[in-house]
Amino acid sequence: MTEQQDFTISTLGAAKIPSPIKLSKVADDLIANYVTDADLIIPDHYGAPDAPKSYRREDLLEKAGPREYIYFDPSKVHAAIVTCGGLCPGLNAVIRAIVMCLWNQYGVRRITGIRYGYRGFLPEYAIPTMELNPEIVDNIHTLGGTILGSSRGGNRVPEIVDAIERLGISMLFAIGGDGTQRGALAIAEEIEARKLKVAVVGIPKTIDNDLSFIQRSFGFETAVAEASKVITCANVEARGAIRGISLVKVMGRESGFIAVNTALASSDVDFVLIPEVPFDLYGDNGFYAALEKRVLANNHAVVLVAEGAGQEHLKASLGCDASGNKKLGDIGTFLKAGIQAYFAEKNIDIGLRYIDPSYIIRAIPASPSDAIYCARLGTNAVHAAMSGRTKCLIAQVNNKIVHIPTAVSVSKRNCVSPESSLWRDVLEATGQPVLMLNNEPKLD
Amino acid sequence: MTEQQDFTISTLGAAKIPSPIKLSKVADDLIANYVTDADLIIPDHYGAPDAPKSYRREDLLEKAGPREYIYFDPSKVHAAIVTCGGLCPGLNAVIRAIVMCLWNQYGVRRITGIRYGYRGFLPEYAIPTMELNPEIVDNIHTLGGTILGSSRGGNRVPEIVDAIERLGISMLFAIGGDGTQRGALAIAEEIEARKLKVAVVGIPKTIDNDLSFIQRSFGFETAVAEASKVITCANVEARGAIRGISLVKVMGRESGFIAVNTALASSDVDFVLIPEVPFDLYGDNGFYAALEKRVLANNHAVVLVAEGAGQEHLKASLGCDASGNKKLGDIGTFLKAGIQAYFAEKNIDIGLRYIDPSYIIRAIPASPSDAIYCARLGTNAVHAAMSGRTKCLIAQVNNKIVHIPTAVSVSKRNCVSPESSLWRDVLEATGQPVLMLNNEPKLD
Amino acid sequence: MTEQQDFTISTLGAAKIPSPIKLSKVADDLIANYVTDADLIIPDHYGAPDAPKSYRREDLLEKAGPREYIYFDPSKVHAAIVTCGGLCPGLNAVIRAIVMCLWNQYGVRRITGIRYGYRGFLPEYAIPTMELNPEIVDNIHTLGGTILGSSRGGNRVPEIVDAIERLGISMLFAIGGDGTQRGALAIAEEIEARKLKVAVVGIPKTIDNDLSFIQRSFGFETAVAEASKVITCANVEARGAIRGISLVKVMGRESGFIAVNTALASSDVDFVLIPEVPFDLYGDNGFYAALEKRVLANNHAVVLVAEGAGQEHLKASLGCDASGNKKLGDIGTFLKAGIQAYFAEKNIDIGLRYIDPSYIIRAIPASPSDAIYCARLGTNAVHAAMSGRTKCLIAQVNNKIVHIPTAVSVSKRNCVSPESSLWRDVLEATGQPVLMLNNEPKLD
Amino acid sequence: MTEQQDFTISTLGAAKIPSPIKLSKVADDLIANYVTDADLIIPDHYGAPDAPKSYRREDLLEKAGPREYIYFDPSKVHAAIVTCGGLCPGLNAVIRAIVMCLWNQYGVRRITGIRYGYRGFLPEYAIPTMELNPEIVDNIHTLGGTILGSSRGGNRVPEIVDAIERLGISMLFAIGGDGTQRGALAIAEEIEARKLKVAVVGIPKTIDNDLSFIQRSFGFETAVAEASKVITCANVEARGAIRGISLVKVMGRESGFIAVNTALASSDVDFVLIPEVPFDLYGDNGFYAALEKRVLANNHAVVLVAEGAGQEHLKASLGCDASGNKKLGDIGTFLKAGIQAYFAEKNIDIGLRYIDPSYIIRAIPASPSDAIYCARLGTNAVHAAMSGRTKCLIAQVNNKIVHIPTAVSVSKRNCVSPESSLWRDVLEATGQPVLMLNNEPKLD
């Protein structure tokens, strides 16, 4: 962590309205207290020796939660919720929590769902909005996906702010990934430029769990659990055939967290390929030779590849998608063909199965543990917006729910460090070579 | 059913050895009785008016179960088990039941697993066999797949019978589909020609549930349950996108039972395409036009296609695979491209997801209901072989486990009749057009 | 089956109105045909030799399904649905199917849910009814229980018929067990006496699967699957302790089908106790001695007891509940105390765990296979009522959905025969003594 | 956190043997590094303002992991594993990880399982030990419970150390709760007194998640997920009956973490009762009055009670069990009777169901997320013992796996603070009164 981070949260103005939520202000009366400005969290700085000895206010993260005074008069609030990008377990649970907290705790009665991502704001699509209330959202957390629908792109900022003005929206909850949050920030800046009083609060969504500063992204754990079931099947298939090889592709555009955790959870994986760890395909130390060795020794192998792995082996750049994400070549079908060809040339009969379960994994409902997390994120997003905070995200840091400035969070990504104990555990669990590079570093 | 069927079961000779299984021979003593030659089952002939008024012995099916006298001396039996073809939920449960019954009830102590299908018999593969006993198989029914491994083809009859002689096998249990059972019959005939005393009993395996005369094939119900979960995800994906279409391919080479039952179980499917019901792609009454109409009306659609559907739209014959099954073109990726192109030409933006969950579906363990069925099939296969029966299959007919001559069973396949109440229920559940043909029959 | 059964179905009058459902009347046009009076099913008569050589019309069962002509004008129909008795997986799926078929296929627009069983008809409870339509029932099959609520008793016939008149109901669908169907029959007879034109069609519900003439009751398979999971846990508990004994009680008031099938599905059960097979507790051949022997040999044991088992060991008659069912003593806690005392007296330390999962088992949603069955029962109940049939049940016989006169079906119950292959399989799977009676019959 | 804690870890002596695990000692070579003495973790001190400005070495926690030098010669190690107390999801996963790491990474070839807890050491029980190796443990993590068996009590220290000497054990891994770890500490002290060189490393097990200093106990998350399923059923039952009340008891002797998280995960709970929050039963503000109000308003209610809640309402002290845990009165059956009596007196008909799923919850296998955690705990326990550490536990603090002195960890317990945001979230989710006390504190 470098010194330049400033974790100060922007606000629309002073919070002067007494909150309708009644909490205690004294300790030890068995009743929860309001969160105050003194509730601050130290960001991640494990390894005490090199940790800073003291902190400035801007080095610390605000704890999320209900404040004694709020900025908005609940009777005048018109809240809007939008979900963007690919599906992720828990989207509906977040939507539900936002609606429940607005309605039941603050008494807000005007809540609008923007449908199909930012496109739902654009007149050209003519998509009607959806009124939200507790009855509508009561059971949605038991369903996968998002009742609002989603889409990529569409973050044409001035037009969106036009729509926000037209609809009279006073707070926007934007649930989505990096691109979405960058969009939300631009929207908030345009709102500021127009001198509007609209809070924009983001709930970061990345099934890949690769947000920097953020301990855990919702849906990630559910995705790993579902992917583990697929690995069990892949292993059954591989063992059922003569020299059976199962190749499974999972999500992970720029980070291998899903692949890594799935391999650790299932213990049936022989090779994990992730974007953070480069590998050669050919040569004595390459992946194909390692795979051959394993298959000849055990008669079966399971290979788990993150979608962003090995992009260096694929064709030249493919541009970006509507959300501004780099388009990836399909490493799954590429490896499928490559393995097939490698063993054909060696005249070794194999039984190769390729499994791509992405749509199944991302469409299931949140696990109980993720459901709790989603509920807390949604609730605290409401507390943040009601208190007038804006241009911030809600996320967990050091096991606490905090506010993070959007600008800080989107500035970089989290990765699996090849030198971490996490990756070390994967190497142990799979038994794969430490590095599958032909000129790898040597350990004495 | 035509008159020519002869359900008489072949035997190796007279069963003269008293069974080690002690059962009752009198009614009403609260103890189960031996099955006798008088226990016969009428094959399927629903619709009484046209049912035969009387039956000859050869029109009726033998009930399976333990006989008072058996053919083999258990202390001299060497039993072998082989699993062939694609994976199917319940294979391990059948293996377990065979081993448990041989060992615990008859006292057989020599049981050999032939590995990777019929190829496991062939010297060129040099695959060691696997000794089986209750300890080894105790928990295998909780795992998907087959501990023996499987493969297609390899049914080179004389070499297999050479191996049977060499190993001193006295009974062979062949678990597999049509091709496997045809192979088993040829093996039994070669055994007969060589005047060996080896019983060959088949347990039919077809995840497609398309065996004629047979009420239900093991693993089918489990497959439908798993496919239903995939449909739930497919529906979530379709509803999550603007004009979202999810296309799911499931097993069903020549019959659409899995697709049909999955659609009925999940109620989220808009179109079911099966091999038994032809459909046009283009034209006013074709599938693409119907899909367009549905997507424009509802903003989403789920299409479920059996792998053998619409083969008439694919390229010319592709030959056969190692088991003698006709090679099919891939209707899934064909339709994926076709739908994409159709809507592109119409300039309608869609969000198409293609899901092929076959390897996941077939690799899961048997559901409890299938587990019971597998256990009963395996146990009764042992009773059949011990009594000297051969060239027969074990299966359920009219809710009873019976013996069926292999020759009769492999003579034809079961299909979804487009005029059945089953298909009528699908049309109601999906709301799809009765026939998607441009010159379809008219109902007045 | 005795000769006296008469399977003729009562009707309200001639069906003269052309059905709005358009089906074919000719074969081989790829379109399903109407069901006609010639579609008849032979009831269960396995074991051909003693089967009747010919059948009278009243010996045969009508096939269920849509008729060409119906009795009711759909535009005038007011349908009502009631669910009675204990919960059972699939109730909501049946409700859904009835509503969907009435609305989508026949165009009925007035459908009323009677809440909390027959009590919902009684003015003293002042329970409002619930309007039903496709939107309300669309997803209910994914939830356990019944959206209508349920209760026992309340079948005060004249008052119910008063309510039926008052509400202007023209068809009543009664989903429930024996007591409910007897109530439905009495209601239908009172309706007849008052010369009203109201169809009463029952969908039999018994999680115990003990309906006579009926192949399978909905929810049963789901219950077995859930109970099997509990057995897995019970086995883990038993094996985890020194001389661990897990005692599990499942449903089965007068028949042991759930216990028997659960034991077969899970293969971890050591003793199954069911109402149909008497057992002694004490003495050399009694249950406690057998349990002691097993626990000392294996160090653990799992005992599965149906709630109706061993009632002879419990206190004198406890009367009947509100549905007219005999009240049972609690064999579970009785055996728990008995086992505890037996081993205490013998000075043998055991670790006994008692598990009663009934409320969990019966509250889960239907499995896919049960969901299909529920959908078919509900749909065919509508076809029956629309055609003017009354005083009948919808159920599966010989793998076909049929109409059964209510009076015939409630006349007796189905049981696990101690001499059946089903019970024989349980004895094999558990290894428990053939009979745990001190003066048991001897096998030579 | 008070100042007196000393997190220094005891060792058996200097670690001078080069580890057989080959890791890097330089950064940025893509290969993981050895953990060094400089890898220290700050214990929990959220809320920066009052956090200490500087730390002494003994204030900080050692990071767990492989060291460059180890204390034991792997070829001479005889490791032993024991599991004690009640079952908990993940026990087998921990056992597996210990065996795999010892065998595969360090080359240890002598690993013994002590069966049925500390009793397995005592000659009077004459329980044979169990040899452990990778083949035996390969799949055990997919099974619930512990393959070693477990029991309470038996920690008779001198006899256990006699057995350790007799068996020649050089390291003991003790998996169990508070009592077990106190026992392990006493064993280690006796070992020290006898001047033996035996490492004793604990892996803390508490399904209740109530260990102080420790972020998360293994199996807890799995338990919450399973309990959530039970709540779904309880809710279905409550809604299915007229004034239906479902009362569910879950684990939680001294802390309500399972109850609290289950309520948050499922959102169907109306009242949560936990040990940390006192409540009155009677009176205007008591629990029964609040329950009555809710049931009359909604017609149903779900009550979730932790086993340790409301002990003040139960009979006088019941002493302690074999592990030294206080015996609790059964709050579940007590409340069942109390609710029944309360409503009977008020003449209000209710439908009360009582569900106690404890044995089911604790016997299931670990969820994927718990499985990963168990694997990391087991592996790091081996690294700790091999390096000569003793009298310590392995656990997660601040998202890192660390060593904690056993003496520090067993000194107090973790609780749900009634003033925490966690309990605040529960109050919001359930809508239950902030305090159900007749003389509760007032909020202005």
B9 has pLDDT over 90: yes
Per the CB < 8 Å rule, is C355 touching D359? yes
Distance from CA of A311 to the nearest CA of B (A): 23
Fill in the amino acid letter for A24: S
C234 contacts D359? CB cut-off 8 A: yes
* CA distance, residue C314 to nearest chain B CA (Å): 22
Active site residues of C: 208
**Residue A411: predicted pLDDT:** 81
Show residues of chain A in contact with B237, CB under 8 Å. Answer: 87, 145, 359, 363
CB D150 within 8 A of CB D135: no
Residue of D114, D299, D360 to mutate, testing the C interface (most C Cβ within 10 Å of its Cβ): D360
- Chains adjacent to C (≥3 CB pairs closer than 8 angstroms): B, D
**CB count in 10 Å sphere of residue D444:** 5
Nearest to C419 among B27, B228, B379 (CB): B27
Supply the ipTM of this predicted assembly. 0.92
Portions of chain A given CATH number 3.40.50.450: 10-217+365-409
- How far is the C-alpha of B197 from the C-alpha of C46, rounded, in Å? 33
| Residue D363 to residue C240, Cβ atoms within 8 A | yes
Contact list, C357 vs chain D (CB under 8 Å): 357, 360
Q: Facing residues of D396 across strands?
A: D401
3-state SS of chain C? CCCCCCCCCEECCCCCEECCCCCECCCCCCCCECCCCCCEECCCCCCHHHCCCCCCHHHCEEECCCCCEECCCHHHCCEEEEECCCCCCCHHHHHHHHHHHHHHHCCCCCEEEECCHHHHHCHHHCCCCEECCHHHHCCHHHCCCCCCCCCCCCCCHHHHHHHHHHHCCCEEEEEECHHHHHHHHHHHHHHHHCCCCCEEEEEECCCCCCECCCCCCCCHHHHHHHHHHHHHHHHHHHHHCCCEEEEEEECCCCCCHHHHHHHHHHCCCCEEECCCCCCCCCCCCCHHHHHHHHHHHHCEEEEEEECCCCHHHCCCCCCECCCCCECCCCHHHHHHHHHHHHHHHCCCCCEEEEECCHHHHHCCCCCHHHHHHHHHHHHHHHHHHHCCEECEEEEEECCEEEEEEHHHHCCCECCCCCCCHHHHHHHHHHCCCCCCCCCCCCCC
Task: Kindly report the backbone phi and psi dihedral angles of residue A32, in degrees, each rounded to the nearest multiple of 5, phi listed first.
Answer: -60, 150
If DSSP codes are grouped into helix, strand and coil, which group holds residue D201? Answer: strand
Mark the ranges of chain C whose per-residue pLDDT is less than 70: 1-4, 44-54, 316-324, 440-444
Token code pair at residue B336: 């994926």
**Residue among A149, A236, A239 whose CB faces B240 most closely:** A149
- Round to whole Å and give the CA distance between C422 and B342: 55
Task: Give the model's pLDDT for residue C1.
Answer: 40
Q: Which fold has domain D10-217+366-409?
A: Rossmann fold (3.40.50)
Residue of D nearest to C231 (CA): D360
Chain A positions touching B241 (Cβ under 8 A) are 116, 149-151
Chain A closest CA to B73's CA: distance in Å? 33
Instruction: Give the closest-approach CA distance of D166 to chain C in angstroms.
Output: 23
Cβ <8 Å between D41 and A51:
no
What 3-state DSSP class applies to D300?
strand
User: What integer pLDDT is reported at residue C442 of this predicted model?
Assistant: 59
> Topology of C223-363+418-430 in CATH?
Rossmann fold (3.40.50)
Contact state of B359 with A144 under an 8 Å Cβ cutoff: no
Domain with CATH 3.40.50.460 in chain C: 223-363+418-430
Compute the distance between CA of residue B281 and CA of residue B342 in angstroms, rounded to an integer: 10
Q: What is the pTM of this model?
A: 0.94
So which residues of A are the catalytic ones?
Answer: 208
| Distance (Å, whole) CA A214 – CA A399 | 10
Least confident of B204-208, B228-232, C213-217: C213-217
Q: Between A and B, how many residue pairs show a Cβ–Cβ distance under 8 A?
A: 89
Least confident of B132-136, B358-362, C58-62, D246-250: C58-62
Q: What is the mean pLDDT of each run of 10 residues along chain D (444 residues)?
A: 74 97 90 90 60 73 96 98 96 98 97 97 94 95 96 92 98 95 97 98 89 84 97 97 97 94 95 97 97 97 97 74 75 96 97 96 96 96 98 91 92 88 93 90 56
* Cβ pair D132, D99 in contact under 8 A: yes
Q: Which of C169-185 are b and which e, b meaning 16 or more Cβ less than 10 Å from the residue's Cβ?
A: bbbbbbbbbbbbbbbbb
For chain B, residues classed under CATH 3.40.50.450 are: 10-213+366-409
CB contacts of C42 in chain B (<8 Å) are 45-46, 48, 51
CB within 8 A of D84, min separation 6: which ones? D117, D118, D150, D151, D152, D154, D174, D175, D176, D177, D179, D180, D183, D323
**DSSP codes joined into one string, B113-161:** EEPSGGGGG-GGG----EE--HHHHTTGGGSSS-TT---S----HHHHH
Contact C223, C251 (CB under 8 A): yes
Q: Which of D82, D116, D250, D359 to mutate to test the interface with C (most CBs of C within 10 A)?
A: D359
Dist CA C320 CA A358 (whole Å): 55
CB atoms A359 and B144 under 8 Å: no
Looking at chain D, which residues constitute the CATH 3.40.50.450 domain(s)?
Answer: 10-217+366-409
Minimal CA–CA distance to A225: which of D254, C354, D370? D370
Residues of A in contact with B89 (CB under 8 A): none
Radius of gyration of chain A (CA): 24
Are A443 and D23 in contact (CB < 8 Å)? yes
Nearest by CB to residue B47, choosing from C22, C40, C221, is: C40
State yes or no: pLDDT of B398 exceeds 70. Answer: yes
**What pLDDT, on the 0 to 100 scale, is given for residue A1?**
41
Note whether B143 contacts A234, CB cutoff 8 Å. Answer: no
Residue whose C-alpha is closest to residue D321's, from D85, D91, D124: D85
The alpha-carbon gap from A127 to the nearest alpha carbon of chain D, in Å, equals 31
| B443/C228 CB distance under 8 A | no
Nearest residue of B to residue A83, measured between CA atoms: B240
Higher pLDDT, A29 or A74: A74
D208 is catalytic: yes
For the segment A265-269, the average pLDDT, to the nearest whole number, is: 93
Residues of B within 8 A of A113 (CB-CB) are: none
Strand pairing category for B389-390 and B10-11: antiparallel
Q: How far is D311 from chain A (nearest CA, A)?
A: 18
Q: Going by C-beta distance under 8 Å and a sequence separation of 6 or more, which residues neighbour residue D91?
A: D83, D145, D146, D150, D175, D205, D219
Written as one string, the DSSP assignment of B354-369 is EE--HHHHHTSPPPHH
Kindly tell me the burial class for residue B54, based on how many C-beta atoms sit within 10 Å of its own C-beta (0-12, 13-18, 19 or more): exposed
- Taking an 8 Å cut-off on Cβ atoms, the answer to whether D233 and C149 are in contact is no
Chain B positions in Cβ-Cβ contact with residue A356 (cut-off 8 Å): 356
Return the CATH class of domain B220-363+418-430: alpha beta
| Mean pLDDT value across chain A | 92
From the list A41, A224, A441, which residue is nearest D30 (CB)? A441
Tell me how far the alpha carbon of residue B147 is from its chain's centroid. 19
Tokens of residue D155, six digits: 């920690």
Which residues of D lie closer than 8 Å to C, measured between beta carbons? Answer: 87, 116, 119, 125, 127, 143-146, 149-151, 230, 232-234, 236-237, 239-242, 246, 351, 353, 355-357, 359-360, 363-364
Q: Please name the chains neighbouring A, where neighbouring means 3+ C-beta pairs under 8 angstroms.
A: B, D
> Inter-chain contact B375–C425, Cβ cutoff 8 Å?
yes
Average model confidence (pLDDT) across chain B: 92
Determine the Cα–Cα distance for residues C248 and A64; give it in Å rounded to an integer: 47
pLDDT band at A320 (very low <50, low <70, confident <90, very high): low
Q: What is the second-level CATH architecture of the domain B10-213+366-409?
A: 3-Layer(aba) Sandwich (3.40)
**Residue D55 burial (CB count, 10 A):** 17
CATH architecture of A10-217+365-409: 3-Layer(aba) Sandwich (3.40)
Residues of chain A with CATH 3.40.50.460: 221-363+418-430
Q: Which CATH number fits domain A221-363+418-430: 3.30.420.40, 3.40.50.460, 3.40.50.2000, 1.10.645.10?
A: 3.40.50.460
